[in-house]
Chain A
Amino acid sequence: EPEVTQTPSHQVTQMGQEVILRCVPISNHLYFYWYRQILGQKVEFLVSFYNNEISEKSEIFDDQFSVERPDGSNFTLKIRSTKLEDSAMYFCASSVSGYEQYFGPGTRLTVT
């Protein structure tokens, strides 16, 4: 069964460094998302991406964040200058129609 994959599974970085989280969505899906979950809190929407552009972003998704689909298979989330409060599980999700969204296993980002 096709699934969303994410790399790395765990990323440790120092405050102020740039990180890129990678996702390979399910191949025939058209809608792509990033969500995050800070430890002990709920899953929060970050950004949605469709037709090679951002369709919506949350207030969390400020100028330090960017997304890209560079080659038709990967979908990346870049954090330009990480802060301590960026430490969280980051989940990529994809969908054929937008309705049912399938999540990857997540990347645990630890900012020290």
Chain B
Amino acid sequence: DQQVKQNSPSLSVQEGRISILNCDYTNSMFDYFLWYKKYPAEGPTFLISISSIKDKNEDGRFTVFLNKSAKHLSLHIVPSQPGDSAVYFCAATESNSGTYKYIFGTGTRLKVLA
């Protein structure tokens, strides 16, 4: 069951530069998407969301872009900071189901180099 895929297991970026994390999905019924950040031995921390009625959502240094035709979303972090080093998960749900069950990707480990 690979409905949500993060094809890059890891990414290294210099401090101050842009980090771009990618996520692809296969289920066209998904209409709400979340990004989470996870540090070791902690729970996922909610970062930002996007509904399928939008193609962009911005919150401070974090911007999520959604390309519905390509079934692709990306998270941009600008500027990247060493504290952003963590594993990032995208998650998707079909809100019409009413249960808001999220399907998670496998995660991308981001390392921001000082």
Task: Identify the closest chain A residue to B44 (Cβ).
Answer: A103
Partner of B100, one of A4, A101, A103, A104: A101
Q: How far is the CB of A67 from chain B (nearest CB, A)?
A: 13
Give the interface of A toward B (CB within 8 A). Answer: 4, 6, 31, 33, 35, 41-45, 48, 50, 55-56, 58, 91, 95, 98-106
What would 28 A/B residue contacts be, using CB atoms closer than 8 Å? A4-B43, A33-B101, A35-B104, A42-B89, A42-B105, A42-B107, A43-B89, A43-B104, A44-B104, A45-B102, A45-B103, A50-B99, A55-B98, A55-B99, A56-B97, A56-B99, A56-B101, A91-B43, A98-B95, A98-B98, A98-B99, A99-B32, A100-B34, A100-B46, A101-B34, A103-B45, A103-B46, A105-B42
CB of B66, distance to nearest CB on chain A (Å): 15
Number of A-B contacts (CB under 8 A): 62
- Judged by a CB distance under 8 angstroms, whether B81 is at the interface is no
Q: State A51–B42 Cα separation when bound (angstroms).
A: 28
A99-B32, A103-B46, A105-B43 are known; give 10 further A-B pairs, CB within 8 A.
Answer: A33-B101, A45-B101, A48-B100, A91-B43, A98-B95, A98-B100, A99-B95, A100-B49, A103-B44, A105-B42
Cross-chain contact A101 with B89 (CB below 8 angstroms): no
The answer for the CA separation of A30 and B85 in the assembled complex, in Å, is 32
Measured between C-beta atoms, what is the minimum distance from B59 to chain A in Å?
12
CA distance A44 to B2 in the complex (A): 12
